[in-house]
Amino acid sequence: MRTTGVEMPEDMGNRREKTGIAQSSSRLLLMLLAPLALAFMTGCAGVVSQQKSQQLPGTYSLSGAITPAAGGAGAMLTLTGTATATATANGSGAFSFTGLASGTYTLTPSRTGYTFAPTSLPVTVNGANVTGMNFAATQQVNPTFSITGTISPTTGGSGATVTLSGAGSATTTANGSGVYTFTGLANGAYTVTPSRTGYTFSPTSQIATVNGANVTGVNFTATLGTAPTFSLGGTISPSSGGSGATLTLSGTASATTTANSSGVYIFTGLANGAYTVAPSRTGYTFAPTSQAATVNGANVTGVNFTATQVTTPTFSISGTISPTAGGSGATVTLSGPANATTTANTSGVYTFTGLANGAYTITPTNTGYTFTPVSQVATVSGANVSGVNFTATAVQAHSATLTWTASASAVAGYNVYRGTVSGGPYALVNTSLIAVETFTDTAVVAGQTYYYVTTAVDGSGNESVFSNQVTAVIP
């Protein structure tokens, strides 16, 4: 048997005699040691990071470094593809994977508080060791974190779309092993939702809370559907109006869902067909009010809406009563869709506020004054109404005084009759018999002509015929 790494001294023959050890015994000892050395070397072969070892025939190594060492030291390197493995970079940022068969791999570094450029590298091992798989680490000023998980089995997870919503929004695609990762995430609550045509997922979504550390193990199980279903989703912006809005789905199927804090909503498990999506939230209007969406063998995205907070607009009606002598202190009455009264200020100006659209009637009053016009109609239609003005005119006191000759017969009193047409008809003016031969009529109107007659009444109530007619023209 031949041995490796053991030299026989040239004077071994001479030393045999001095030591008394037979040549045959020496050879036997070397033969016994050789298998032990071979067994030790074989036991060291395999994928071992950061220590030199012999590789099995037909396997190779992959190595590189993460710089600077401050960011590389202790970083985790994840290898996926033909084989999977992890390694930790040493204090200099150097790393290696050994015992790799030829094939395609993806190498991804990670370390909390650091980002890496590039984020991952594709690697092809093809009959030789691969070196120079290097990355640059950058410390985050405001550290961000990651959410990761696996969708299994890989037949359903590979290529699945994973949507992130909540404190941040993003989408990613699970790799060939069903693994997905979201990076660069601030602290907060997130919702992770997988989707893939022809598959359902359990659970349909999960909430993951980032709180100063990466979140792992947000896993899902994909099940091939007997009949493929799809999803329909979108965003209601701004989030202040979209958050908590109710979305109603009608058409081929009916459902409701609630938009998350970012205004994002999604309906899942939908068969092909025509649908209508309508958002609603108290105190908001939406543009458009609804949208039609057709599911036809694929997920539908981007069915978006804009929310506008409702503020019920109100308007005013205003005007001036002139001159100020008649307008100042005048009472102005509003009637119509709303009723109100106000008092004109010392300048005769009045205003009604907080009015909804509609037709209103405005009427001024002030003792001792008449107004032109007596009232006005003002229509509020999406704007304030001004210039609803009036003219106040002081009322002058008018009267007509009548005198007549006393009756030659004994009488109990007299009656006065008034008409507005010469020759009658006449109407009794006084409420009781007039004892004297004069009467003042104060119930007359300026600009009017009146016609008067009198009668005498005796003690038995007998009344004489009308006297002659007199005319009074009121200026």
Q: What is the mean pLDDT of the chain?
A: 88
- What pLDDT score does 440 carry? 95
Average pLDDT over every residue of 430-445: 94
441-446 contact pairs (CB < 8 A, 24+): 441/399, 441/400, 441/401, 441/402, 441/416, 441/472, 442/397, 442/398, 442/399, 444/398, 444/399, 444/400, 444/472, 444/474, 445/398, 445/474, 446/396, 446/398, 446/474, 446/475
Euclidean distance between CA atoms 182 and 173, whole angstroms: 10
Task: Tell me what percent of the residues of the chain surpass a pLDDT of 90.
Answer: 79
Tokens of 458: 């005796």
Out of 15-19, 154-158, 243-247, 382-386, which region has the weakest mean confidence (pLDDT)? 15-19
Identity of residue 22: A
Q: Are 109 and 134 in contact (CB under 8 A)?
A: no
Residue 15 has pLDDT above 50, yes or no: no
Residue 421: the pLDDT is: 96
Confidence of residue 236 (pLDDT cuts 50, 70, 90): very high
Give the residue among 172, 160, 161 at the shortest CA–CA distance from 120: 172
Q: Considering only the top CATH level, what class is 400-473?
A: mainly beta
pLDDT-derived band of residue 32, with 50, 70 and 90 as boundaries?
very low
Equal CATH topology for 145-309 and 400-473:
yes
Residue 188 has pLDDT above 80, yes or no: yes
Q: Where are the domains of the chain?
A: 12-43, 60-139, 145-309, 315-394, 400-473
In this structure, whether the domain defined by 145-309 belongs to CATH 2.60.40.10 is answered with: yes
- 159, 242, 244, 252, 397 from 226: Cα distances, Å: 19, 34, 33, 18, 99
Q: Is pLDDT above 80 for 227?
A: no
Q: Which tens digits make up the pLDDT trace of 84-96?
A: 999 999 999 999 9
- Asked if pLDDT for residue 321 goes beyond 50, the answer is yes
Which CATH number is 60-139 given?
Answer: 2.60.40.1120
Between residues 354 and 395, the one the model is more confident about:
354
pLDDT at 221: 97
pTM equals 0.30
CATH architecture of 315-394: Sandwich (2.60)
pLDDT-derived band of residue 55, with 50, 70 and 90 as boundaries?
Answer: low
Q: Is the pLDDT of residue 45 over 70?
A: no
pLDDT digits (tens, 9 = 90+) for 109-158: 999 888 999 999 999 999 999 999 999 999 877 788 999 999 999 999 99
The structure tokens 């050789």 sit at 34
CA pair distance 261, 259, nearest whole angstrom: 7
Spatial distance between the Cα atoms of 206 and 219, rounded to a whole number of angstroms: 9
| pLDDT interval class at 40 (50, 70, 90) | very low
